[in-house]
Structure 1
Amino acid sequence: MSASHLELDLVERPFTDRGTRLLVTAGPGPADGLRVARAEYETPLAETTDLTGLLVHGADGRPLPVVSATPVEVAFAGGVSLLFADPATLVITGHGARASWRLPDGTGRTLALDGCHVLAGPPGEWSAPAVRAASEARWADWFARMPAVRPDLAERARMAWWTLAVNLLPIAGREGLVPSKYGYVGVWNWDALFHAVALRHGDPALARDQILLFLDHQLPDGRLPDVVHEHGVLADTTDLPRADHARLAQHVGTANGARPERAPVPVTKPPLAAWAVWKVHETDPDVPFLAAVYPRLVRAHAWWFAASDPDGDGLPEYLHPYSSGLDDSPVWDYGPRAEPPDLNSYLVLEADRLADIAGALGRPAEAARWRERAAAHARLLVARRWDGTRFTTLAAGAPVPVRTALDLMPLFTGRLPAGVAAALERTLRSPAYWGERPVPTVAFDDPAFDPEAMWRGPVWLNVNYLLAEGLQRSGFPDTAAELRERTVAMVRDAGGLYEYWNPLTGARAPRATSGFGWSAALFLDLARMVG
């Protein structure tokens, strides 16, 4: 697949490359030129700008417009181009033209173009034909690895596969896939697992590296950190950026007297590492890899029961909103600790995947014990949280009235009694959740529903992906197929790979970032599966 078949708009899709922190984006209007900025952890591009107002002028002094922008180059009229010579170096090439721009302090610069010049990066000599040929070859190789999808999904799939490449950066000694170069410049635990799901089709070794980034930084107690970034790891609330403390205090700081900014609390992400490991193994079997990670996965699983079950009822809970991955969900309006049904559903499935891994390693007795644990934990979840109508969410020991898509996640286990599973499938297909663009993260008819507020109503691809897998596992293949189909259609028609979508309109929610890694990854995997 040619890289020239993907056009970059230089707004949602900047000109950038695998391994580079440099991004080229357009100004508000044609006369504003282009901006070059650097992607940094938790920092807006406005604070990392290298230059602004980049314009190219022809021999007659008139500005030359950008005629195309692809992963390979930004091409101006008159034969002028921007190219990445290497991850640290952006060059501008051309003859008989002049480039002008402003530095962050407002100082103007001009450059008469006569060959290949470094625009951003260390000084050096570069050959424009060689740089272009290397870029074309690099992108041709990447797109050749893209999973096959049906024709109507191909354009969005190319965008998704490109997104996964450009979000790759050197992180902690490995190549890590960041969620977005627009601020999310670190590797988040949950995101890494979803990224691995797609990368396994084109580069299984790279998929395994996303998982290893967190297993490399496993804490002594077995917990996996929340984030690995260029400055270290985020593993408890003492590591949070200051702005996050203020936001959390505002959001949950007064609920039930909670003061989350006062005492350190462990921060991680939902347990799906064994699930991701097994998906990669199914695509590209690697028993030595399983043997290396299995003990660490066992320790990570044990942490939830040893350290994240403060009431000792056998059903772990999230000790902090960030550990859920759903930090803006209305379940946190009732306190900074909560136990929605998704967590224990994941733990059931993780036990089953650990059984698969133990079996592949030739340990049948261990595999049998894991199967027993999975079955027992599923029974406990049903016995203590199924009220005959729904799975309840607890906060501060009391049921939370808000109805969320997490209520349906026990389907993910594939171990529910038939009547309970059927009731959840009926609920999913009811008007509360089943619209043209399911699944809202809060029920359409719940008072807390907000179609544009992060986890308070918008559609997230990871929720849909996990529910579709759960429906398949629980004996509802037709509903699973329809959910996949409606999900890929929403993404196809919306114009981009966003963090989340308005379930009423199918459009990008205003505060959702673009070029989002797990949306790209899970769209690709869903697109593979639809007929």
Structure 2
Amino acid sequence: MLTLDLVERPFTDRGSRLLVMARSDGLWIARAAYETELAETTVLTGLRIHGSSGEELPVTAASPTEVTFAGGVSLMFADPDTLVLAGSDARATWTTAVGESCALDLDGCHVLIGPAGGSWLEAEVRSAAEERWRLWADRLPPVRADLRERALMAWWTLHVNLLSIDGSEGVVPSKYGYVGLWNWDSVFHALALRHADPDLARAQLDAFLNHQLPDGQLPDVVHDRGVLAETSDLPRSDHERLAQHVGSARGAGLPTAPLPVPVTKPPLMAWAVWKIHQVSPDRAYLARVYPKLVAAQRWWFTGSDPDGDGLPEYLHPYSSGLDDSPVWDFGSSGALPCLASYLVVQYHCLAEIALALDFADQAAVWRAEATDLLARFIRLRWSGTRFTTVVGGRPVPVRTPMELMPLFTGRLPAEIAQRLHADLLSPEFWADRPVPTVAFTDPAFEPEAMWRGPVWLNVNYLLIEGLSRSGFPEAAADLRERTLSMVRDGGGLYEYWNPLTGRRAGRATPGFGWSSALFVDLACSAEAAP
């Protein structure tokens, strides 16, 4: 049975913005909101339960269905907006967000938070909560016995991170501030959901395809108040943080462009659509999204290639997904080797989709485009020993696994693929818990700092697939096993991990969506492996 610690794993429910957490003065309840600290959305604090003699009744357990106190008192979700306390001969006390002291005598099932006047029966509320969780838990795909406990935690995380955003249900990265749908995250969330609910997996992608801009660009974020698709949409706090960080090494600073800069995420949408289709074919869906995927692919070459060399660039650090990578210390836009790699794979996925739709001529065009792009990328960026990262028009010295990401294409010349494979398995990137987001040997390596050293599961996941595509199955299996072991033994589902300790790094957010999703998907592939 999954237990919640009410710290990293709060008591919450699918569709609910409410989080119940433990503090020294009792339970604390806050409401999750986009780009807002929970301290700013406090609903109540100091929730305590007292027995008939005035003694405090401590929390004895917390599960996905209820928080239980000594004396038979329970806290449960009657619906996403309604928390109830159930019990008898007890008294609840708390303080509201405005400092008002409140009390409630328990002699049945009472609304603590939610619409006034509700009538709830304890047995019915508990039964409904248990059924909601059971129906979801039973859909966890098969995983090895040693991975099941962490996989169940990951599956619960995906369950409770499902919220209504812009009128559709999507997995938010975390209810700790990340309350919206991020483009890259939603792609990875869909990979796990495809095993249990392909329609829900497709809905994660539709959230962005349905908000595609007229020129083909896909937005970065879909949130309660709209979308984030350019720098003018960024919250003020993001501008301030980037001004302190980006370009710091060379004094480049943020661009002072007269027009807003597009903000998106790396192009993996067609790849995700095709992976879902392979598990659950839906030709009608392919027909509906194919034109959108084509437009999104073309946008990178028409709207994100400022020097016209045929190798698109990330025009903003956020578009890379690698927000705080030290490569951005050298400027605020650039071409990382991962981008061309993703675009090559996207072309091949478009070809597969075109063939499924009986568009053989278009499939041939996409395959030719993929071949041309890969050849151009090798000609312009392969130094003979590594793929170069170009930021601000100049190669940068920082070594990151993004220069290994061309393995993801599965179509490199053998000698180049062998060199990248050797680099990955060298002391620069390989250890008990690979792969650091900056090489272990690089002066910029910081094991606790976001994107400056910690392990991120999406990077490992893409490299695992890349190793398999490129003919290195043993290395792929080894990296998968090391990644699964790190998460299994590391204490939780974090945003990122310290590669030296295998524990939560720095300010990494707990209960993180894509870490949960990719752990489940990798655990599924480990179960299926011979």
Residue 203 of structure 2 is aligned with which of 209, 227, 251? 209
Map of 1:43 onto structure 2:
36
- 1:182-331 equivalences under 5 Å are 182-252=176-246, 255=250, 257-260=252-255, 263=258, 264-331=260-327
What SS is found at the alignment partner of 2:133?
Answer: helix
Count of aligned positions: 524
Any idea what the Cα deviations from partners look like across 1:8-27, whole Å, max 9, x if unmatched?
00000000000000000000
Cα distance in 1, alignment partners of residues 215 and 376 from structure 2: 25
TM-score, structure 1 as length reference: 0.98
Decide whether the 8 Å contact of 1:191 with 1:517 is kept in 2. yes
In the TM superposition, residue 52 of structure 1 has moved relative to its aligned partner by: 0.4
> Are 1:418 and 2:411 matched, yes or no?
no
Regions of 4+ moved over 2 Å: 253-263
| TM-score of the aligned structures, taking structure 2 as reference length | 0.98
Counterpart-to-counterpart distance in 1, 2:265 and 2:441: 29
Distance 2:485 2:402 in 1: 23
Q: Is the 8 A contact 1:440 1:457 kept in 2?
A: yes
Corresponding position of 2:161: 167
Separation of aligned partners in 2, 1:336 and 1:391: 20
Residue 53 of structure 1 is matched in structure 2 by 46
1:138 pairs, out of 132, 156, 161, with: 132
Residue 64 of structure 1 pairs with residue 57 of structure 2: yes
The code of the aligned residue for 1:454 comes to M
| Alpha carbons 1:252, 1:260 under 8 Å: kept | no
Structure 1 residues 15-56: Cα deviation after superposition (integer angstroms, max 9, x where no partner):
0000000000000x3xx1101110000111111011000000
Of residues 142, 147, 153, the one that matches 1:153 is 147
Q: Distance in 1 between matches of 2:111 and 2:124?
A: 14
1:348 deviates by 0.1
1:82 to 68, 75, 85: 75
CA distance in 2, matches of 1:289, 1:311: 36
Deviation at 1:261, TM superposition (A): 6.1
- AA at the equivalent of 2:7: V
Contact 1:253-1:260 within 8 A present in 2 as well: no
User: Please, which runs of 5 or more residues in structure 1 have no aligned partner?
Assistant: none
Q: Which residue of 452, 459, 462 corresponds with 1:456?
A: 452
Q: Percent identity?
A: 66
Choose the corresponding residue for 2:10, options 10, 14, 23.
14
Deviations 1:385-435 (A, max 9, x none): 110110000012111001001010000001100000000000000000000
**Secondary structure, aligned partner of 2:195:** helix
In 1, the alpha carbon distance for the partners of 2:41 and 2:357 equals 48
Q: Which amino acid aligns with 1:50?
A: V
Task: Check if 1:510 corresponds to 2:506.
Answer: yes
Return the letter of the residue paired with 2:120: W
Structure 2 counterpart SS, 1:67: strand
State the AA in 1 paired with 2:334.
Answer: A
SS of the residue 1:472 aligns to:
helix
1:105 aligned residue (98, 115, 119): 98
- Aligned-residue offset at 1:253: 5.4
Give 1:384-423 correspondences, 5 Å limit. 384-423=380-419
Show structure 2 runs of 5+ residues with no match.
none
In structure 2, what is the Cα distance between the partners aligned to 1:361 and 1:100? 62
1:372 CA displacement: 1.1
1:28-39 alignment to 2 at 5 Å? 29=24, 32-39=25-32
For 1:232, the aligned partner's letter is G
Query: What secondary structure is seen at the aligned counterpart in 2 of 1:249?
Result: helix
The one of 341, 347, 350 equivalent to 2:346 is 350
Structure-2 separation of matches of 1:303 and 1:395: 20
Residue correspondence of structure 1 range 492-531 to structure 2 within 5 A: 492-530=488-526, 531=529
CA distance in 1, matches of 2:167, 2:337: 36
**Shift of the alpha carbon at 1:256?**
5.2
